[in-house]
Structure 1
């Protein structure tokens, strides 16, 4: 969440990231997130967070530890308004990263003590990596301690982080794409990401070494776009509840509610387009939450009817940059549960 309230036209044209970012805390039902610090890094060692890294990320433990340290230092530098070159790890591409520490107050073994008391409640980290202002893209990754995997923490935190990533500025980062890269043998993570709406878009053949089986394995790339991701339904899919004061959620709720109202009105009007009324009502909804809607363009179809892009059936739930976006007719939440196979193999 950048410090400026309204981006200037020059900033929008240049698509440059802000020089400094305010990393927001994010609340979940099982965990809560705060900006990660360099002081948190030794806690990951105590948590044995790099255990089985070759299976989960395809890297060996030493390499995984090195990149996590780099991500946290880049995140801290950005929060302090420092250039990427001032992060202490250097980066000729000036890549930006946001790192949150994942904390829990849970007592799963009912021994009367918080499970992660020894690490000040920290059980791992979650990252938005290589945040690209030009392409409005970022990669998401979760690192959890050995004893905190498979308990549903990722399902609690990831939809909320992605909501922040896709939300328009200043509520969020205004991303167009969030992607992940997963070793083919990590079927558990693949299942979680697909449940979130990520779609397999390709693979890098023999990109990783599988030390356990002494063979190469593919690296699977999955992504989801702003018009394919529904923040509310992603939480519903995992049985999680909306927390309204999380960054981006207020905007998501208002936009979703208004989108439903528009669809209902169209059904009542026998699918008759009313672009002017829809646009005015949409702007009224955004004004109530203090968000300026993105530009929309009027188009004429083959039948001579006019409509706005923002009012089409394939429209995004988000209000920004409609004229420069592609819309998906196969948005995951329109086809939830259809033709989707999910692996349940444990790590």
Structure 2
């Protein structure tokens, strides 16, 4: 085995609540992992130190334990608008970060022992599916990634490469406008299609005495209502839950149709907690709206692929990006 074959790569999936850290080889085999709370309220320095500590934890998780000297590069998938070239996170709302030089700070925390890069969290998840998951080895070259969870994120692959655009922020699917005459923020796709909107809208309608089985599913405690409860209500043919989720799915489908109409993409990858919880029923509703609005008819050949890697998409995609970007890879 050559020295380059022995190198390993770190992927970090950084969220507002939790972080996941994985160590993988160049083939995408996960050999060690760790998970921790983000504790964003403690400030960026504390979050960065926690990521560094959990790289050590991921090394310890492997059997046998990984020698730190084998770690070649790390890529952090971070939420929000960022520039992977400058290494700056411009605006990550759920981390309370603005114009943070994340690459420089992480490099300093690691004492320059490995190459550091960053990308948007949905970009890295999409790259994971493209390299190792649902979209791998199928001949796709131009893809839209849509991850529907608490919010809605997006990513783009054009001509087989992640597309960042002039300002490094391409793919902000959830921030596109769907209802321009509505008030600030409520005009955007994320406001109408996200898990947060689905759950909050249903709570409001239940409290307004709309007929539904949801109160029974949560034992009368609406504060515990989750997307899993919503999925169960839909399985029970609950009309209220079905109508609310179907509308949210239609918003996502229309926005996806706009993107595919504009860019003539051959695949839409769907992931995130809403997609995973609601499964094929939700995906079919998104697809129905997409087919109604996409132009021209040839674009209906665009394939919808649900995530295969699930929670591992982000950390594996980030590890693969670390490998791809490593200046030593292939030497």
Give the TM bin, normalised by the shorter chain: under 0.3
TM-score, scaled to structure 2: 0.26
Q: Which has the higher contact order (CA 8 A, sep 6+)?
A: 2
TM-score, scaled to structure 1: 0.25
More helix as a share of residues: 2
